[in-house]
Structure 1
Amino acid sequence: MDLIDQIAEKSKEIHTDGYSMSVGEVISLYKDKDIEIHPEFQRIFRWSDEQKSRLIESILLGIPIPPIFVSQRSDGVWDVIDGVQRLSTIFQFVGIYRDENDLVTDPLTLQATEYLPDLQGYRWEIVGEGRKVFSDALRRDVKRAKLEFRIIRKESDENAKYDMFQRLNAGTHLSQQEARNCLLVMLNREMFAEITNLSESDDFRGVCLITEAKENAAYYQELVLRFFLQLDYSGPDAELREEFGDYVTNWMREAAKVYKSDENKIKAEVFHRSFSLLKEALGEDAFRKWDGARHLGPFSISCFEFVTSGVAANIDYWETQHAATLADRVRSAWSSPEFRNSAGTGVSPRRRVPRLITRARNFFMG
């Protein structure tokens, strides 16, 4: 198949439309639950009131706003894949935005902006005395303003919206895991909730000490995802065929298709059992370097991969052993060829991870 044939074949899989809608029409869609903006994304997209005010300023001044991308589901509902923060800002300003618990949030009070400093303190409508409020004319101007939409129609390939989301967010301020979290919300909310819940467990947090910057980039959730990827891995110890970040994302997408909470309880149980043992054995030193006399340095991702892969694969055995025995085995890993030969600074994740997973299962065997 040559390039022309490839283009013709793939273009049959993606059907799109594009047209403009007034803000008033979009508000009606939201009220009628005909558009899904994923309130869970608010944990990830953190716009300040200043940024929100600048969006309202743009609407009032007719400054072009980037198109909003949506995917039409089989039930006809529009699933927003790019533009969540823009739409949620508008809905919050007019006082109808609902959070992930379906509760209406406090209306947005505008701040002064570069071109409209007098926006300071304004709200959409009266809430309490002494408030500055938009006039009927200003509210009409906002509701008549146009937003551009790009729609992936429901006849498209089922993966089209997820591929589109990844492409639209490639190179943005989002970390890889923040982008994965958004993707997972669209793929399987139940799995997203489970990953988030596990990432907040006390035993897990007690042994995984990461920086605040990494925590803000959703690294705890990435570590949970990687734990289950390691548990599920059945390949050889050869180098992966793709970059590790892409491998994690693609594994997650496949896992989300088959995820069911009842069937997944066994895996979640292994997670809790593993980190309970490690917390008891080593506490916050579980994934810090052992120099033969003491633990030092920051959290080591290589150590995390090796230790959690080995302990989880042999969980029944380690639950019969004393905590000190597990501590000794973890510490001995730092001088073992199984770990040292695969965890050096020059070893890429796509080579390192398969090696560490497969070799750890034998290293931690009883």
Structure 2
Amino acid sequence: MQWPDLFDDDNVDDDDLSEMTRKYLPDTVVWTTDWTTGSLIEQLERNVFNVDPPFQRRSAWSDTKASLYIESLLLGCPVPPVTLAELPAQGSEGNFQYVVIDGKQRLTTLKRFALDGELKLTGLKVLRDLNGRSYSEVEQEPEFRRFANLPVRTVVLRNWKKDEVLQFVFHRLNTQTTPLSTHELRRALLAGGFTDYLDRESASSEGLQRILGISEPDYRLRDAELLLRAIAFVRYSNRYKGNLKQFLDTITRSANRSWSEPFARELDEVVGSINSAISAVYDIFDKGAFQRIDDEGQPSGRFNRAVFDILVMTFQNETIRRAATADPQAVRSAFTVVNRNPDFKRFISGTTKTPEAVNGRLRIWWKQLSSALELPYESFEQVQTW
């Protein structure tokens, strides 16, 4: 399953980060060193690298892929560098910790193999006799000395002033490879009760998994970011100023600072309404859920985040949801009509992130749907009253 074929739009681009990056990137100090595999393992044991926050349960590498990385180290093959961002010194001893910008799966593999003992080598192509072996068993092999002493180029970013600088580096490092979720970095930098909540609730959401075409939590955290996006627009859309990344980051920081049991209970209600909205959209649109309608009047076949926004914001309201599920044909017809509207088409497939686009596509859709369901337009304007 290839993500670019399923999604109309990426969740971040350089334009989102350009202002902060141009201002603050020149102040960032780049330090390059060579740590051996053995020293990396020692740092992992001391929890110097932040590679094991709650979201790390979603491992991206299979045991075979992880084993092939270990085999490369055992053979002394060059491996890609690791890129880290140095966090301010913590505690009375002034110890530093590092956020992993690039190389998370490689370091996680070392941890699984050398420290946790949960990875047994499998699928090795050259050192076939080591298949089925654990770290303690490999320690006795002649290749182990090479493994422990192999230098791994490590790039450390110091003195960075804004999260956007790390986001830019993260995005650029992955431009030529499989795109990674920007929420991974947000999750590492903006830890707290709310980010844990997003991780937990998205992992149990069958609706989000259905959208992504998966049957378990997404290892790239796209489910968590979709839930964050839904909460942000359902609950805080009046605060949106045009920079989506900044909007989501601000909501996350604010929610982490405000985290409490009463707030969590309030969010439970919001998330429940979002999950009900997703279920209703599938009841109404079936396989065409959360897709724009093409020029032939057919669902495009690709998930569209702008469509996701307006449908979730609409159907999280119980009154509208009940009316819509009672007359799904009217809803489908109304959606087909708005997809012929030039402004609506532009707002969901062209310039999608401006306040004009966010508000414009919602108003056009609400006006058409209120007529189709014979509901007063005022009932739609009251949707965002959490």
Unaligned 5+ segments in structure 1 are 1-6, 98-105, 127-132, 242-246, 291-295
- With 82-91 and 34-43 compared, the bigger mean Cα shift is at 34-43
Task: Classify the secondary structure of the residue corresponding to 1:259.
Answer: helix
Question: 1:219 Cα deviation (Å)?
Answer: 5.0
Superposition pairs for residues 1-366 of structure 1, below 5 Å? 12-40=26-54, 42=56, 45-75=59-89, 76-94=96-114, 96-97=115-116, 106-126=117-137, 133-135=138-140, 137-153=142-158, 155-159=159-163, 160-174=165-179, 178-190=180-192, 191-201=194-204, 204=207, 211-212=213-214, 220-231=223-234, 232-234=236-238, 247-260=243-256, 261-262=259-260, 263=263, 266-276=266-276, 279=279, 282=280, 284-288=282-286, 301=304, 304-312=308-316, 315=317, 318=318, 324-328=322-326, 332-336=330-334, 339-340=338-339, 341=341, 343-344=344-345, 347-348=348-349, 350-351=351-352, 353-359=358-364, 363=370, 365-366=378-379
Is the Cα contact below 8 Å between 2:229 and 2:248 reproduced in 1? no
Q: Aligned equivalents of 1:203 and 1:56: distance in 2?
A: 35
- With 114-123 and 340-349 compared, the bigger mean Cα shift is at 340-349
Q: Aligned equivalents of 1:253 and 1:187: distance in 2?
A: 10
Q: Aligned equivalents of 1:26 and 1:365: distance in 2?
A: 60
Q: Which has the higher helix share?
A: 2
Question: 1:68 Cα deviation (Å)?
Answer: 0.6
Identity, % of aligned pairs?
19
CA 143–287 in structure 1, closer or farther in 2 if over 3 Å, else same? same
Matching residue's letter, 1:195: L
CA 141–219 in structure 1, closer or farther in 2 if over 3 Å, else same? closer
Is the Cα contact below 8 Å between 2:284 and 2:332 reproduced in 1? no
CA 57–348 in structure 1, closer or farther in 2 if over 3 Å, else same? same
Is the Cα contact below 8 Å between 2:285 and 2:332 reproduced in 1? no
Question: 1:287 Cα deviation (Å)?
Answer: 4.4
What is the CA deviation profile of residues 67-113 of structure 1, one whole-angstrom value per residue up to 9, with x for unaligned ones?
A: 1111110021122111111112122222x13xxxxxxxx43222353
Unaligned 5+ segments in structure 2 are 1-20, 90-95, 290-297, 371-376, 380-386
Q: Aligned equivalents of 1:116 and 1:123: distance in 2?
A: 13
Q: Aligned equivalents of 2:112 and 2:283: distance in 1?
A: 44
TM-score of the pair, normalised by structure 1: 0.70
Q: Aligned equivalents of 1:257 and 1:235: distance in 2?
A: 14
Is the Cα contact below 8 Å between 1:14 and 1:152 reproduced in 2? yes
Q: Aligned equivalents of 2:38 and 2:303: distance in 1?
A: 51
TM-score of the pair, normalised by structure 2: 0.67
Is the Cα contact below 8 Å between 1:70 and 1:82 reproduced in 2? yes
Task: Give the 4+ runs in structure 1 shifted more than 6 A.
Answer: 296-300
Question: 1:225 Cα deviation (Å)?
Answer: 2.8
Question: 1:150 Cα deviation (Å)?
Answer: 0.5
- How many equivalent pairs are there? 321
